[in-house]
């Protein structure tokens, strides 16, 4: 199991992105989490390709894009061209999830599959061994700074069991309401990657917060 922190840019300062990119470049965060929202799959709109391409130019770290959009298949190639490393789609947004996972991998990216809080783990049972990562949403997607849904911890434990039984290397990522108060519990439950927006960017010392999350 790994321990990776992926700070979510949704909570960054968009009037001075350079500052936050530099802060993260010099931090122990190995990944950058990019929340892409279309205003249809979720009740919010975030940012798209121009911003991703600008961030790509300024960092060598892993770009971890979380697509909260319908019909993600239409844009897979564009995300590959933009330099995204991990592309995560929602199981709820993919009619042919198996095909989507294959398409993402065929373009040289790693593939993640995300599950909303109400979606059971059975939705990914047939593709878990093909995905590089499963993302457990611990809030209803759409906004930063929401409260962590406590039932998510047990969901992670059950997913860890499923991954062990399948004997695959699939990573477990958790996203939403992650903080210093629950990071230790989440790593113990079996998470490899913690996404954190508010907890990192709104803290007094974001680099130190990242280190504390890693050591939780
Ligand atoms: C929610 C997004 C999250 C969110 C995390 O829709 O997918 O990545 O920005 O923010 P925090 O850590 O503040 O809950
Ligand atoms: Zn996210």
Mutate to test the pocket of ligand 1, among 12, 69, 139 (most ligand atoms within 8 A of CB): 139
Is pTM beyond 0.95? Reply is: yes
pLDDT tens, position by position, 23-43: 999 999 999 999 999 999 999
The ligand minimizing its distance to the Cα of 8 is 1
Averaged pLDDT of the chain: 98
The C-alpha atoms of residue 97 and residue 148 are separated, in whole angstroms, by 27
pLDDT tens, position by position, 141-174: 999 999 999 999 999 999 999 999 999 999 999 9
Going from the Cα of 48 to the center of ligand 2, the distance in angstroms, rounded, reads 14
85 Cβ below 6 A of ligand 1 = no
Going from the Cα of 8 to the center of ligand 1, the distance in angstroms, rounded, reads 6
pLDDT tens, position by position, 59-103: 999 999 999 999 999 999 999 999 999 999 999 999 999 999 999
| Spatial CB neighbours of 71, under 8 Å, sequence gap ≥ 6 | 93
Per annotation, catalytic residue among 20, 38, 175, 192: 175
The C-alpha atoms of residue 54 and residue 181 are separated, in whole angstroms, by 33
Going from the Cα of 96 to the center of ligand 1, the distance in angstroms, rounded, reads 26
Statement: residue 1 has pLDDT above 90: no
The ligand minimizing its distance to the Cα of 194 is 1
pLDDT tens, position by position, 193-215: 999 999 999 999 999 999 999 99
Catalytic site includes residue 188: no
What pLDDT is attached to residue 128? 98
Going from the Cα of 67 to the center of ligand 1, the distance in angstroms, rounded, reads 12
pLDDT above 90 coverage of the chain, percent: 99
The C-alpha atoms of residue 151 and residue 148 are separated, in whole angstroms, by 9
Closest-CA residue, ligand 1 atom 6, reads 141
Provide the strand spans (E) within 116-209. Answer: 133-137, 171-175, 193-196
Provide the strand spans (E) within the chain. Answer: 4-7, 31-37, 62-68, 86-90, 110-115, 133-137, 171-175, 193-196
Mutate to test the pocket of ligand 1, among 5, 6, 7, 8 (most ligand atoms within 8 A of CB): 8
């Amino acid at each position: 199991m790994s321990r990776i922190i992926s700070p979510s840019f949704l909570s960054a300062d968009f009037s001075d992105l350079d500052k936050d990119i530099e802060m993260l470049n010099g931090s122990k965060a190995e990944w950058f989490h990019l929340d892409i929202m279309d205003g249809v799959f979720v009740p919010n709109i975030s940012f798209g390709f121009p911003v991703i391409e600008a961030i790509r130019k300024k960092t060598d770290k892993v770009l971890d894009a979380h697509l909260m959009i319908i019909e993600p298949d239409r844009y897979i190639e564009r995300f590959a061209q933009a330099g995204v490393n991990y592309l995560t789609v929602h199981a709820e947004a993919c009619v042919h999830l198996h095909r989507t996972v294959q398409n993402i991998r065929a373009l040289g990216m790693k593939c993640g599959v995300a599950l909303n809080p109400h979606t059971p783990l059975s939705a990914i049972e047939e593709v878990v061994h093909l995905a590089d990562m499963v993302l457990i949403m611990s809030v209803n997607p759409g906004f930063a700074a929401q409260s962590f849904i406590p039932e998510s911890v047990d969901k992670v434990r059950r997913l860890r069991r499923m991954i062990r039984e399948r004997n695959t290397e699939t990573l477990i990522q958790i996203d939403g309401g992650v903080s210093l108060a629950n990071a230790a519990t989440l790593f113990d439950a079996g998470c490899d990657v913690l996404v954190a927006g508010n907890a990192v960017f709104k803290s007094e010392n974001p680099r130190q917060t990242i280190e504390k999350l890693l050591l939780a």
